[in-house]
Amino acid sequence: MRSRFPETLGLEIHRQRLAAIAEEMGATLMRASFSANIKERRDFSCAVFDGEGQMLVHAAHIPVHLGSTPMSVEAVRRKLALQPGQMAMVNDPYEGGTHLPDVTVVAPVFLDGSEGPAFFVANRAHHADIGGLTPGSLPIASEVEGQPLTSDDEGFRTGPEILNDALRQRFCQASRMPTDRMGDLRAQEAANAVGQRLLQKLAAELGMDVFTRQNRALLDYAELRMRAAIRGLGDGRYAFTDFLEDDGAGG
């Protein structure tokens, strides 16, 4: 019987190469950013997705972003037809966002001859201030309004929108620190540009057929691991009780 070791080893090498791209995006974001939140606290995450918006790798940055960032990428894919040279920005909690200071920038990756994006890269970074009632943009607000925006209690908020000069200005002008916001946002764009370039390079080296097959195998393996973990829980109903000391509004 032929050993599966070479096949398994090849898949792990492929995973590590993709992870290295996400890590390099993060290194670029950290170096180019302005605020202590991103440069020193490293409150950001970077990830790589296939052309269908399925997450292939998520760098070991902020694990709490792992579950929600794919929802932001899916919202971008659903609402925008990004073209080469374009990126999208989103922080709306109804579109995969978390708290509003976490701003996600999504970019498509096109390959020669491809009609649509072959991949997507995305990063999410915690901006120090995006406006709102209090500095730092984490106020005790009474509501999160629906679309369109009807108040600025929570600070700047946008659903998936193409990132252009007008959006950059709106975002920065909402903040008490507009220069820092522009620097951090540009750093996010630079990080995605690095991801685009490295994915294009890897695709050219492997060939798209091999690349696609390895990505599919990686997703299949992740599914097997998850199914095995769920089976290990055993049948039954599971519950727990937790407590919130104060809702911030006197309750």
Report for 97-101, 183-187, 219-223, 231-235: range of highest mean pLDDT? 183-187
pLDDT at 204 > cutoff 90:
yes
What contacts 24+ positions apart, CB below 8 Å, involve 64-71? 64/98, 65/98, 65/102, 65/124, 68/96, 68/97, 68/98, 69/45, 69/96, 69/104, 69/122, 69/124, 70/96, 71/95, 71/96
The pLDDT value recorded for residue 184 is 98
Residue 143 pLDDT class (50, 70, 90 cuts): low
pLDDT at 104 > cutoff 80:
yes
Average pLDDT (143-153) is: 53
Please provide the average confidence, as pLDDT, over all residues in the chain: 89
Residue 136 pLDDT class (50, 70, 90 cuts): confident
Residue that wins the pLDDT comparison between 141 and 177: 177
Average pLDDT (45-60) is: 94
pLDDT at 30 > cutoff 80:
yes
Average pLDDT (125-136) is: 89
pLDDT at 78 > cutoff 50:
yes
Q: Which of 214, 226, 228, 229 has the alpha carbon at shortest distance from 9?
A: 214
The pLDDT value recorded for residue 32 is 97
Residue 153 pLDDT class (50, 70, 90 cuts): confident
Average pLDDT (139-147) is: 64
pLDDT at 8 > cutoff 70:
yes
The pLDDT value recorded for residue 152 is 63
pTM: 0.89
Task: Give one word for 104, left, alpha or beta, with left for phi > 0 and alpha for psi -120 to 50.
Answer: beta
Residue 148 pLDDT class (50, 70, 90 cuts): very low
CA distance 116 to 162: 16
Q: Minimum mean pLDDT among 107-121, 134-148, 159-173, 221-235: which range?
A: 134-148
pLDDT at 1 > cutoff 70:
no
The pLDDT value recorded for residue 144 is 62
CA distance 128 to 147: 24
CA distance 155 to 137: 6
What share of the chain in percent tops pLDDT 90?
73
The pLDDT value recorded for residue 243 is 86
